[in-house]
Amino acid sequence: MRLLTKLTLIFSIITAQEYTWPTNTGKHLSSNFGEFRPTGFHLGLDIKTKGTVGHPVYAVYNGYISRIVTNYSGFGRALYLTLEDGQTAVYAHLSKFNSQLEELLKLEQEKNQSYITNIFLSPEKFEFERGDIIGYSGNTGFSFGPHLHFEIRNKKGQTLNPLTNGLDQADRMAPIAEEISFIPLTSESWINGNQLPQNFTLFRNKKGEYHFPDTINIFGVLGMSLKTFDKRQGANNIYQPHRIEVYIDEKLHHSLQFDRLDYNWLSTANFIKDYNNARLNLGNFIKLYRNETDPSVPIHSSSTNGILELTPGHHDIKIHVMDHLMNLRIIRGTVFIMAPFDLMVKPLGETKELVSFLIQSKNISVPIKSVVAYSFTPYGYADEKLSIQSSETLEEGKIVTILKKQINRKAIQFMAENNLGTISRPFHWLDSQNYSDYLDVNIDMDISYTDAGIYIQIQPEKIVDADFSLRLKGKYQYETISLNQIQPSVFLTKPLSPILFEEVDQIEAILNGPIERQIRFDFPYTVVQPGSSITAISEDGLFSIRTKNNSISRSSLIWIEAVNKYAPVKKGNHLSRVYQLQPFQQPLLNPINIAIRYSSKYKDRNKLHLYFYDQKEGWSFIQTENNNERQVLTGEIKQLDAITIIEDVVPPIIKSIHPGHNGKYPSLELSTFKIKIDDLLSGFDPSESSFELILDDQSLIYAYQPKLKTISYELDRPLLIGEHSLQFTVKDRAGNKASQTVKFKVY
């Protein structure tokens, strides 16, 4: 199977049309095909241009220019070259076009009095041969620096990986692997005695292969994801691997390949990457499985889904990670399939320095091989891994000794591995004199989401001596749910189906001791299912969510938390509570609508807008509609973030204008107007409605670079000698304006 795959890939590379490299600045990339971006996938190559603009870009094959685009927010200046083989090459972020194309562009812009164009051309108008210069590299549009964004599209408009569809690039380095994650997918899934997703660091041997840190004990239905990236010699950048194959016991189990994508599939990127790990800031993991409800994208193999549901015993896992030239990295590991067992722990006695414990299997007779122990403070905080001073195996179990000073006033978590390789569920021990009174301690409840379902977590503020359980209560429902003690003060349900909560309006935490204690929690959660639209409202009644029929791909709960701890709003007037939309690890397939009602005292203020919190950019503007009569702001979001209302009343900043006020310039040396601007909060909409540039009472057709926040205008002929006036006006998204007029002389 491996040989067949290799031969197939070689054949596809040999038979692909060979194209000329589109630049003369080397074959170095800052980004490759399929990389994960906040907005989806990267659908082409970003080719480095030595940090500068103005380098020629070439026709990669014979063809004709079929489309010319200029804008502010996307590709900037872009050309579409339809090739003789039926594919289309796209060149984006250009500074200039070929002189004939520039002439056509200028006529079109002057005709429409707009920089924004989208020109479609007939085949015979602008024909080019392989190697002809069609334009020059730049930094226009939504570009983070000088480079050429290059795409190959098929006849359907889908983007293809250029490095496997015509372009060649030398590469001797194999991809790198860092971590592997195992993800429970059902209520009976276990990983090393735990039902939560777990990440494991991979270790590299002298041969360059990566290995699991140890045999991993799993049970039930699970998925895997891999933190991996590609490298190339001579570059510090990291890239997306091209292909990944998963083998179970030397048989191909699943594969995925980044070779064909579509702009209509951008929102599906959050279902290809491990969205849970990404939202927890644990890195970019690629999912090695596909849920039945995930959107169908031709990255994963269509004949397999990659889900693990293995027979009891040991199984070898091998993962191949390849770049476009099949440089291969191998990851190996072993999993042992067996359900976890329960422990019994009894203190046997103590000396001045040591305490002895008898560790026994509760429900199986397989001898215990090893024991680990961890200490926790009376408030439930993890303290340290304890050193086992001695260990003795007896017929009835294993006796271990621990230093008394390490466990004084501490709770101890024990876990064990038996001779088969099965990991136990954790067992927790605490001297009874150190327990808090379960009748008085405060109890918190949290709900979280994974691919397996909904988890409910109950956590007392201190460690108590009581058994915990839950009751789900509704008008026609009364159901008891057991809890697993995963830490001394943390109790967790198994993954629960969201459908279980459809009629629930209250959750009770039950503390079972000599006296039963009940703590009731309201249930402000709403069940949402694919194909349906629901409205969820915050407990204070001021915030609402409205999902669309296609917002989610699988059943879930959705809820709104008014939070007290949040990133400070340092700019603008903060005029509402901060609401965190949950579950924040739930990917959305399509946007949802949100609304916040504001106080009547702000009714006459017209610069209120919704903002979401971005971890890199801070509080970020949401396009907002203000229904002043109802005192409601509405907007649309693409992921479940923190939302609030901020008023922006500060005008934009005009940092510099060239030519300068009262400046004097030789006629032949003044060729460009350049204006640098900034805004402290709402920012600028990348459209012509945000800016106005007037020279001597005549409006100019200017360019705008949103990342550099720069307005520029290229003079096509020298200005007349004498005095001139340049007037500039800028408006931010909140409607605040700033204007400046400079007068200068040309001689």
Please state whether beta strands 397-403 and 313-322 pair in parallel, antiparallel, or not at all (unpaired): unpaired
- Long-range CB contacts (within 8 A, 24+) of 394-398: 396/358, 396/360, 397/344, 397/358, 397/359, 397/360, 397/361, 397/368, 398/358, 398/359, 398/360, 398/367, 398/368, 398/371
Q: Which pLDDT does position 604 carry in this prediction? A: 83
Tell whether 302 is covered by a domain: yes
d(CA 16, CA 674): 44
Tokens (6 digits) for 699: 């409006």
Predicted pLDDT of residue 11: 42
pLDDT, average across residues 483-505: 94
Whether the Cβ atoms of residue 138 and residue 199 lie closer than 8 Å to each other: no
**Residue 238 binned pLDDT confidence (cut-offs 50, 70, 90):** very high
Domain co-membership, 36 together with 151: yes
Could you tell me if residue 594 is inside a domain?
A: yes
pLDDT bucket at 514, cuts 50 / 70 / 90: confident
pLDDT interval class at 17 (50, 70, 90): low
Domain end marker among 386, 407, 434: 434
Q: Confirm whether 517 is domain-assigned.
A: no
Report yes or no: 107 and 44 within 8 Å, Cβ to Cβ.
no
User: Residue 712 belongs to a domain with what CATH number?
Assistant: 2.60.40.1220
Strand 147-153 with 88-94, pairing: antiparallel
Q: What is the average pLDDT score of the chain?
A: 94
- Token code pair at residue 380: 């439930």
Do 643 and 547 share a domain, yes or no? yes
The predicted model scores a pTM of 0.93
Q: Give the model confidence (pLDDT) of 138-160 as tens digits.
A: 999 999 999 999 999 999 999 99
Lowest mean pLDDT among 45-49, 81-85, 523-527, 741-745: 523-527
The rounded distance, in Å, linking the Cα atoms of 484 and 467 is: 10
185 and 318 part of one domain: yes
**CATH code of the domain containing 268:** 2.70.50
Res. 617 pLDDT band, cuts 50 70 90: very high
Q: Are 89 and 34 in contact (CB under 8 A)?
A: no
User: Which strand (E) or helix (H) includes residue 3?
Assistant: helix 2-15
**Per-residue pLDDT at 253:** 98
* pLDDT one-digit tens code per residue, 367-420: 999 999 999 998 899 999 999 999 999 888 999 999 999 988 899 999 999 999
Q: Is the pLDDT of residue 8 over 70?
A: no
> What gap in Å lies between CA 698 and CA 694, rounded to an integer?
5
Query: Is the same domain home to 593 and 632?
Result: yes
- 140 lies in some domain: yes
Q: How many domains does the chain have?
A: 6
Name the percent of the chain in helix, strand, coil, to the closest 5.
10, 45, 45
d(CA 735, CA 728): 16
Closest CA to 125 of 101, 149, 141, 108: 101
pLDDT value at 498 more than 90: yes
Least confident of 13-27, 505-519, 576-590, 707-721: 13-27
Contact between 231 and 239 (Cβ < 8 Å): yes
Check whether residue 492 and residue 383 sit in a common domain: no
Asked if 114 and 234 sit in the same domain, the reply is: no
| Burial annotation 218-253 (CB, 10 A radius, 16+ → b, else e) | bbbbbbbbbbbbbbbeeeebbbbbbbbbbbeeeebb
- The CATH code of the domain that includes 46 is 2.70.70.10
Q: Which residue range forms the structural domain that includes residue 684?
A: 653-746
- Residue 537 covered by a domain: yes
CATH of the domain at 358: 2.60.40.10
Tens of pLDDT, residue by residue over 262-288, are: 999 998 999 999 999 999 999 999 999
Contact 198, 192 (CB under 8 A): yes
Residue at 516 is within a domain: no
121 & 11 share domain? yes
Which of 511, 535, 550 corresponds to the end of one domain? 511
CB-based burial, 696-718: b 16+ in 10 Å, e otherwise: eeeebbbbbbbeebbbbbeeeee
Last residue of one domain, picked from the residues 647, 682, 713: 647
Confidence of residue 672 (pLDDT cuts 50, 70, 90): very high
What token pair was written down for 560?
A: 């709104």
Model pLDDT, residue 4: 40
Could you tell me if 639 and 657 lie in one domain? Answer: no
CATH code for the domain of 554: 2.60.220.30
* 126 located within any domain: yes
Q: pLDDT at residue 508 above 50?
A: yes
Same domain, 327 and 190: yes
- 153 and 35 within one domain: yes
In angstroms, the Cα distances linking 329 to 240, 303, 316, 320, 667 are 13, 24, 16, 6, 61
Query: Is residue 279 domain-shared with residue 137, that is, in the same domain?
Result: no
Q: Same domain, yes or no, for 309 and 360?
A: no
112 vs 118: CA distance, rounded Å: 11
What are the tokens at 447?
Answer: 């709900």
State whether residue 406 is helix, strand or coil.
helix
pLDDT over 60 at 5, yes or no: no
Q: What is the dihedral of CA 389, 334, 496, 345, to 10 degrees?
A: -20
Residue 169 domain-assigned (yes or no): no
